[in-house]
Structure 1
């Protein structure tokens, strides 16, 4: 019926509503279908809902990109242009679609979670770069510092960028220097072992060709300091936001603040899902049946929110973990995991089964704001 192209900024949105108003006669209500209403279309969705008194009563619908893509593919000749994309979205609107409700608190939380993930990626990148440098100066550094991202190894490598700087350093002096940094966790024995490992690799600590020998060449100097500060700020902001969701997920063993924030940001408002089956399908955990004439099988879906699926999958791994002492973290989940393997499922399939059970638990906790309760364990006729 009409077509208009505008820039995606609030200053241009009135052109769209003015164009639409020409077709809104008495008794009609405009319906805006926005593809990616929680991404690029979020600004327009928020503007339409806030300016409802100006653009009359309007309905804003969220059009799933998969639905509009399927609509484009359904025609005999596949087309792809901005004009036809808009037509495909309009055709999808004929079906029943959910209203677009860009809740600011979920959007803000998702931005914080994405920021935290990006900082973590940068920290790992710098850690890999530091590892590459240390392999030249301290080939055996993992024997005395397992995690080079900790404060103690960062101080050590920043103070002693190459073994030549340790010449003449005694174990007592090194332990006394590292003790405040390590919170009294560096003994003289450990310092002596560190020096022995360095000497055994380098003999009398000669300088190798190309080895950093100047004080200003410090592999550990300033490693990710800015990112560590930013990470603390983001995590503090996430922790401050969680009370707004009345979230009880942290009462479940294995779910910390970061995991709870990831779950909330990916799931969004739990009221979007009428039951746990819908949430499982959204996460790509529920099996899909492929059959014809009564013959077929259930297969793992290729669709779904892969990030949310990964969260549930790794949470399932934590549930079946066994400590070095032989104590199971969650005996009920471990028994269920072993029972599924006895039924013929492999380990990944058994973990997916646990993830599916976790979806039910998380759904109930978010829906009813209840705290986590340990599942009942049945042994024969008894219930523990």
Structure 2
């Protein structure tokens, strides 16, 4: 027999609908969305297939964040269902909504939604994803959390620069050194007034930078001199305002350092899991465990994509067309659709490999010169789009990277 189980999952319960290969409804019921409820659901599936020769069993549910996670993993890992060849699949809710439009005079109820999901499984020609193994689920949670913290770090650094411009409005123009280095951050934490920095002996300020920077400044005297030049040419603030700015700078520095520490901890956890994940992406120069994890955790099984173009579209690495009559616009925007996490890790990885692989470096330079606006961003995204072809080839064929093979696959 063929059995298709559609599940409509909410935070409280699970609506289930069983269909056979001909589309006949075999069972329909509701269980609670907890361990006893999932166990009851499993038992009902086993009862339905008892003394039957099962040729196909698919259990499907929409991807609804944490609500669907636990039941999908419970059913995926159940040995009795695996012994029957059961597959647990997750689907994009938009695909189910579009599929439902083919039914006429159908109301919106959870029971009906469970039936539609089961029928969607029965047709079987539309894209679905097999539930990932625990290590991939863990990687996805870690890499997505890392993405969010990186974004928070970037936002906080922008706020920090805004606060700094209030305290010393010419600092970033005069000082040719990163304001986010340890020595600079420590200097701002000292809450020196501009007059104090201006009157500080040059050698004392240089020694401070040398000590805090652990001798990483090539010319601390020059940096100290540029700091004092910026301080002397900046506007002075009322003490009440300056004290408030110093407080915000200190708070911002604390947040940035906390975020950076969290990112390092996440990276350690990602690297630990990646040691047990078979993959070949890390054979590409410039791709470490974090970038590889971010990519494979979002792609999952590469076989669910027909080709590399589908992977690129899933990541949102394509441009909208703007055409009217015979006119086609040259300046179009990157799609805002797609998986933002996959897009981020592909772009970051592309930015890394272009510094390591001449082929990608040349391609980036070529695309950079093609347009007068948005040069860096456009060239980097196009390089990421090119990189998708390599990712697809390595994952699909389980190959290790070699420059010669890369050229053959992309020809």
2:103 equivalent in structure 1: 75
Q: Judging changes above 3 Å, is the alpha-carbon distance between structure 1 residues 260 and 67 closer, same or farther for their aligned structure 2 residues?
A: same
Query: Is 1:17–2:51 an aligned residue pair?
Result: no
C-alpha distance in structure 1 between counterparts of 2:81 and 2:201, whole Å:
78
- After superposition, what is the alpha-carbon deviation per residue over 1:44-91, rounded to whole angstroms, capped at 9, x for unaligned? 232223333389736233142233111222233464332222111011
Q: 1:112·1:238 contact (CA, 8 Å) conserved in 2?
A: yes
Q: 1:181 Cα deviation (Å)?
A: 1.6
Structure 2 alignment gaps of length 5 or more: 1-24, 321-333
Query: Is 1:258–2:290 an aligned residue pair?
Result: yes
Q: 1:158·1:218 contact (CA, 8 Å) conserved in 2?
A: no
Q: 1:170 Cα deviation (Å)?
A: 0.9
Q: 2:159 aligns with which of 129, 138, 146?
A: 129
**SS of aligned partner of 1:139:** coil
Kindly tell me the number of residue pairs found equivalent between the two proteins.
Answer: 358
2:265 equivalent in structure 1: 233
**SS of aligned partner of 1:126:** helix
C-alpha distance in structure 1 between counterparts of 2:338 and 2:66, whole Å:
17
**SS of aligned partner of 2:234:** helix
TM-score after normalising by structure 2: 0.70
C-alpha distance in structure 2 between counterparts of 1:265 and 1:332, whole Å:
29
Q: Judging changes above 3 Å, is the alpha-carbon distance between structure 1 residues 257 and 158 closer, same or farther for their aligned structure 2 residues?
A: same
Q: 1:141 Cα deviation (Å)?
A: 2.0
2:147 equivalent in structure 1: 117
TM-score after normalising by structure 1: 0.75
C-alpha distance in structure 2 between counterparts of 1:347 and 1:120, whole Å:
20
1:304-315 to structure 2, matched below 5 A, reads: 304-309=338-343, 311-312=345-346
Q: Judging changes above 3 Å, is the alpha-carbon distance between structure 1 residues 156 and 337 closer, same or farther for their aligned structure 2 residues?
A: closer
Query: Is 1:191–2:224 an aligned residue pair?
Result: yes
Query: Is 1:108–2:138 an aligned residue pair?
Result: yes
After superposing the two structures, state which structure 1 stretch, 1-10 or 152-161, moved more: 1-10
Q: 1:161·1:215 contact (CA, 8 Å) conserved in 2?
A: no
Higher normalized helix content (fraction of residues): 2
2:182 equivalent in structure 1: 151
After superposing the two structures, state which structure 1 stretch, 147-156 or 48-57, moved more: 48-57
C-alpha distance in structure 2 between counterparts of 1:151 and 1:191, whole Å:
15
Q: Judging changes above 3 Å, is the alpha-carbon distance between structure 1 residues 50 and 352 closer, same or farther for their aligned structure 2 residues?
A: closer
1:279-358 to structure 2, matched below 5 A, reads: 279-280=311-312, 282-283=314-315, 304-309=338-343, 311-312=345-346, 330=360, 333=363, 355=384, 357-358=386-387
CA RMSD, 1 decimal: 4.3
- After superposition, what is the alpha-carbon deviation per residue over 1:182-232, rounded to whole angstroms, capped at 9, x for unaligned? 222152232122112201224xxx652533349984723552232222111
Q: 1:267 Cα deviation (Å)?
A: 1.4
Structure 1 alignment gaps of length 5 or more: 289-299, 379-384
2:114 equivalent in structure 1: 86
1:291 equivalent in structure 2: none
Q: 2:291·2:348 contact (CA, 8 Å) conserved in 1?
A: no
Higher normalized strand content (fraction of residues): 2
Q: 2:188·2:249 contact (CA, 8 Å) conserved in 1?
A: yes
1:168 equivalent in structure 2: 199
Q: 1:353 Cα deviation (Å)?
A: 6.9
Q: Judging changes above 3 Å, is the alpha-carbon distance between structure 1 residues 58 and 37 closer, same or farther for their aligned structure 2 residues?
A: farther
C-alpha distance in structure 2 between counterparts of 1:303 and 1:132, whole Å:
31
2:20 equivalent in structure 1: none
C-alpha distance in structure 2 between counterparts of 1:131 and 1:350, whole Å:
27
Q: 1:63·1:89 contact (CA, 8 Å) conserved in 2?
A: no
Q: 1:316·1:354 contact (CA, 8 Å) conserved in 2?
A: yes
1:295 equivalent in structure 2: none
